[in-house]
Amino acid sequence: MTVVGGHNRRVGDFGIPGYRARWLTGRTAVATAHGSRLAGLTGRTLTRAWLAWDLAGDSWWADCPVLLDFAGEQVEVNHWKFDEIAISWNTVDPARDVRWLGMEDAPIAWRPEPLPGLAGLVGRPLVDVELLEWHGAPADLANGTVALGFDFDDTVLVVFNALDENGLSVGPLPPDYRRHRLTGR
């Protein structure tokens, strides 16, 4: 399963109370800022995977961060522009709605596991966390972009840059990624 979506975003807090994105570019910057904490998720159980949901359109609002709760430690992953990623920790309360600038009448709420594949990961322990770098065809503009891979042994949840928004894949790791483990098996 691979899913992408698109909308314009509000820079800064994205209409999410308490959220402030800190944008990073490149594997080294992400590893330096968050590598140890991401590695510390290994062995924890995924208890929830929250996505912002456009209630009127009944679709994923892919501009907001993906919230992954590992037994009380919530990592919030967001992609923006062509190559930027923001990772934050325990700042978003999924009980509070999103108020998107310019769309105040469009209700956006957090939903647990609304897409196929996510519900099957809940209750499973995380085996490994990886920083993934895309390396497709030589002229692929996405080369070098960073995604996060959450390995649940027989399947990988990838939160990737889908050209100025988040994308998700659940299943085997696509072959065009170079893996950089933050933990070891």
- The string of pLDDT tens digits covering residues 48-94 is 999 999 988 899 999 999 999 999 999 999 999 989 999 999 999 99
Q: Cβ–Cβ contacts within 10 Å for residue 11, how many?
A: 9
**Measured between alpha carbons, how far is residue 30 from residues 33, 77, 88, 103, 116 in Å?**
5, 11, 11, 31, 28
CA–CA gap between residue 153 and residue 185 (Å, rounded): 10
What are the residue ranges spanned by the domains of the chain? Answer: 23-181
pTM as predicted: 0.90
Q: Is the pLDDT of residue 140 over 60?
A: yes
Calculate the CA 158 to chain-centre distance: 7
CA–CA gap between residue 67 and residue 60 (Å, rounded): 13
Q: What does the pLDDT average to over 123-140? A: 92
Q: Is the pLDDT of residue 7 over 70?
A: no
Q: What does the pLDDT average to over 90-110? A: 83
Mean pLDDT across the chain: 88
CA–CA gap between residue 163 and residue 79 (Å, rounded): 8
Sign of CA dihedral 55, 57, 59, 61: negative
Query: Where does the pLDDT of residue 104 fall: very low under 50, low under 70, confident under 90, or very high at 90 and above?
Result: low
Res 99: pLDDT: 80
Residue matched to tokens 């659940």:
170
Q: Which candidate, 90, 85, 103, 56, places its Cα nearest to that of 167?
A: 85
Lowest-confidence segment of 51-55, 137-141, 154-158, 179-183 by average pLDDT? 137-141
Higher pLDDT among residues 86 and 100, named by residue: 86
Higher pLDDT among residues 104 and 47, named by residue: 47
Residue matched to tokens 């108020």:
99
